[in-house]
Structure 1
Amino acid sequence: MKYINKITRKTTLILLAFGVGACTSIKTETHTSENIEHPTNRVVLRSDIVWEKLNPARGDNSPQAGTIWGDRNGTAPTGFLAKFKDGFSSPPHIHNVTYRAVVIKGLIHNDDSKAEEMWLPSGSFWIQPAGEPHITAAKGEENIAYVEIDQGPYLVQPTNEAFDTGARPLNVDAGNIVWLGSKNTSWIAPDNQAEISFLWESDASKGLKGLFIKLPKGFSGKLESTGQVLHAVVIQGELRYKIPQTGTLKLLDAGSYFSSEGKAVHTITTDSESEATVYVRTNGEIRVKAAK
């Protein structure tokens, strides 16, 4: 995966448009049917997340962290929420592993300690490579980001332990996200107002990729997935999610999560007055279909 540092709005648009080109032509013959004999769907509500200190060494000054999937202190890939107080600003530091993050609420600044502040609003995306010195700051009544790592543990370390992997940070403001509709990608079924944005993709051996799915107001339909794993976090808006094992409807607000293993169907609806954005991490294909 490549990282780009200090890029302009125009350059960001060009890079993202170029980056999604390979994904838009992916065939969809392998997409799953609607009947799954043994569904693996799972839901975690934001209200059920257990919060703890992200960096215990900082005591009460530490941001809060709530693990959604995986184990932040172990070696497995992990996704968690990070919560920052208004006015929070970390000292310069590094991490032992690369992480990706999406702003859910509030404003987040993540950059070199000497860089001019660039506040990323909800729906923005950034990548912080391992070993790269930086600071993280937040402002707003409620500041929450979704963070994921490909391998743990996730550690905060001093800048005198900095190292250079050759990767560079990437900050993408929500206004710079490039959205594709059904006319541009087969991952959105025809006659469907949903949109998708391909954010990153790992090497072909793993096949992992991250993307946004934006669902319009009043959407009712299904998200079909074929990957061995799918992790999805609500970034903006709310979803009503039907759990196939029980038929129960769950209201997923921003920060809530749903997942599956193997072929799966996720039945979802949005509010008639607001759209919703979901971040998805998967190693398979996605197909978004509106109800007939």
Structure 2
Amino acid sequence: MQTRTNTFIAITSLFIALGCNQHKESVEPKNGGATEKTIEPTNKVVLSSDIVWQKLNPARGDQSPQAGTIWGNRNGKVATGFLAKFTDGFSSPPHIHNVTYRAVVLKGTIHNDDPKAEHMWMTPGSFWTQPQGEAHITSAKGDENIAYVEIDHGPYLVKPTDKAFDNGERPINIDASNVVWLNYEKSEWLAKDSKAEISFLWKSHTDDALQGVFVKLPKRFNGKLHSTGNIFHAVVVQGGLDYTLPQTNEIKALDIGSYFTSSDRALHSIANTSDKETILYIRTNGSLNIDNK
């Protein structure tokens, strides 16, 4: 059976240690960081309404899951992030994938586990990993069920369980209610007295700098997110925000499933104008600094 939600408690101390020591190389705006060193902005936005959906298994007709690529190419060999959409009551047959993936529930409820495991429905803001070669099923229930899926290299393929193998990885399911959030006193990636919070989800075994985090922005947040990496992908998991493109000063309204990116150190002007919290999932190989205006 896959690792259950309470597995997260065993690794919480590791993530807290990461959070408390991550910011040593981050950009400090007051000391001339990302803002001054960004010469040619590479910021880009993809709205959820711009995503093109394709059937993952056309043979299943209207019951087929759909995929919409946000960045990369899931049919190629590169790292990729895409949205997966499931119909209400969907349940896959047992299968494996040729690559490991990570995923975040954006809408609805999703179950992903060993074929014989009892259903554990994950709500929006939950995070799970699926190692390559391990047999599992995926189910969904709700009027609209969407997950963000991420792979480190493609192509992303589905194969039968007679091809199953153990690559040494172990899956993790973390329900949204068990995500551990750190404030500015626990993570130097957050400016002093910032009301934003951060949760460190994973760190690459092959690239020490590459990692994934959740960032929670409080209601009425208005500030800056400074990124130093040449890999930076951010997806809206919950709520929404206004994003100002530095090239044109155009403001884009990002809802759940929308995305912004940059390919070099960058300054991201973001505002949560609602009375609800906004959560972002960020994949980066650099550090971050989040501060209020």
- TM-score norm. by structure 2 comes to 0.94
Distance in 1 separating the partners of 2:58 and 2:154: 17
1:7 aligns with 2:12: no
Change (3 A) 1:111 1:204: closer
Superposition deviation, residue 74 in structure 1: 0.4
Change (3 A) 1:203 1:125: same
> Matched residue of 2:22: which SS?
coil
Superposition deviation, residue 168 in structure 1: 1.5
Identity of aligned residues (%): 59
Superposition deviation, residue 57 in structure 1: 4.5
1:34 aligns with 2:35: yes
Corresponding residue to 1:25 among 4, 11, 21: 21
Contact 1:127-1:170 at 8 Å conserved across structures: yes
Q: Give the aligned residue type for 1:22.
A: L
> Matched residue of 1:255: which SS?
coil
Contact 1:72-1:152 at 8 Å conserved across structures: yes
Superposition deviation, residue 261 in structure 1: 1.1
- 1:60-139 alignment, distance < 5 Å: 60-139=62-141
Contact 1:16-1:199 at 8 Å conserved across structures: no
Q: Give the aligned residue type for 1:20.
A: I
Distance in 2 separating the partners of 1:178 and 1:17: 10
Contact 2:228-2:288 at 8 Å conserved across structures: yes
5+ residue gaps, structure 1, are: none
Which residue in the other structure is 2:164 paired with? 162
Q: Give the aligned residue type for 1:40.
A: T
Q: Give the aligned residue type for 1:280.
A: I
Which residue in the other structure is 1:192 paired with? 194
Distance in 1 separating the partners of 2:217 and 2:283: 17
Superposition deviation, residue 217 in structure 1: 0.3
5+ residue gaps, structure 2, are: 28-32
Aligned length: 287
Which residue in the other structure is 1:221 paired with? 223
CA shift digits 1:6-50 (9 cap, x unpaired): 3353x4234123233134213445413324220000000000000
Contact 2:34-2:228 at 8 Å conserved across structures: no
Change (3 A) 1:168 1:27: closer
Q: Give the aligned residue type for 2:263.
A: E
Distance in 1 separating the partners of 2:111 and 2:125: 13
Which residue in the other structure is 2:237 paired with? 235
Superposition deviation, residue 206 in structure 1: 4.8
Superposition deviation, residue 166 in structure 1: 1.2
Q: Give the aligned residue type for 2:9.
A: L
Superposition deviation, residue 248 in structure 1: 0.1
Contact 1:16-1:177 at 8 Å conserved across structures: no
Q: Bigger shift: 63-72 or 21-30?
A: 21-30
Runs of 4+ in 1 over 6 A off after TM superposition: none
Q: Give the aligned residue type for 1:6.
A: T
CA shift digits 1:40-75 (9 cap, x unpaired): 000000000000012345443310100000001000
Contact 2:5-2:178 at 8 Å conserved across structures: no
> Matched residue of 1:26: which SS?
helix
Q: Bigger shift: 155-164 or 55-64?
A: 55-64
